[in-house]
Amino acid sequence: MELEERVAALERQLKHLRILAALLGTGLVALLSLGATGSQPAVQDFQVVRTRDLLVVDSQGRVMCSVGEDGEGNGRLALNSRTDKQVFTAGADERGNGQLLISSNADQGVFSAVVDADGNGRLLIGSRAQRPLVSAGADKKGDGQFLLFSGAERTALSAGVDATGNGGIVDLYNRAGQGVVQLSCDAQGSGMVGTYDAKGAGRALKARP
């Protein structure tokens, strides 16, 4: 009986040692995992995040991106450059229509996509002096329109659809803003070129049939 009791006690000790070894192994794996990821920030996945304002900052605490509400109750997204200049803004204008603004690193607006007063889209490209240079959108009738401006904000060229519906029309203007050359189509579909002086006098040349 003494030998049998010793064998039973030894088996119980071995069983306890196996359990202890398993626990130590599990703890070691957990410590190694923590050591491998301890230098990285925790990552959590969320289905929905609700907040009034969201700010994304860089390693120095500077705001790189902001998402929130403007003063009129519209949503607004803004991106900043590394020099703390706002270079991209998406939101709404005073009429509640969507607009997109892109600025240079000198706080000068150089590109915008907006909705005009008639509900048509319009693209505007400006100079570094914030003067309009190119405008593309629609005219009052809803036809496509392209405008080119000088640095003095005078129309230099316009292209669109003529009022008679014969086809496209292109007008060139002098530095005083007066139309001096016109390219258009007649009712028969032939091309016409009109040249005029500063007083509007001139003539139109039509292609021969």
| CATH label of the domain that carries residue 183 | 3.90.930.1
Residue 125: per-residue pLDDT: 93
Q: Give residue 91's domain range.
A: 51-115
72 and 97 share one domain: yes
138 and 203 share one domain: yes
135 and 111 share one domain: no
Is residue 76 included in any domain, yes or no?
A: yes
The total domain count for the chain is 2
What are the two backbone dihedrals, phi and then psi, of residue 32, each rounded to the nearest 5 degrees? -65, -40
Q: What is the pLDDT of residues 88-128, one digit of tens each?
A: 999 999 888 999 999 988 877 789 999 998 899 999 999 88
How far, in Å, CA of 130 to CA of 99, rounded? 17
Instruction: Output the six-digit token pair for 196.
Output: 């005029």
Is residue 11 included in any domain, yes or no?
A: no
pLDDT band at 2 (very low <50, low <70, confident <90, very high): low
Is residue 208 included in any domain, yes or no?
A: yes
Q: Comparing 11 with 81, which gets the higher pLDDT? A: 81
Is residue 147 included in any domain, yes or no?
A: yes
105 and 146 share one domain: no
How far, in Å, CA of 4 to CA of 62, rounded? 75
Q: What is the pTM of this model?
A: 0.67
174 and 207 share one domain: yes
What are the two backbone dihedrals, phi and then psi, of residue 49, each rounded to the nearest 5 degrees? -120, 120
Instruction: Output the six-digit token pair for 4.
Output: 């049998």
Is residue 55 included in any domain, yes or no?
A: yes
Q: What is the pLDDT of residues 137-168, one digit of tens each?
A: 999 888 999 999 988 889 999 999 998 888 99
Average pLDDT taken over every residue of the chain: 82
Residue 4: per-residue pLDDT: 54
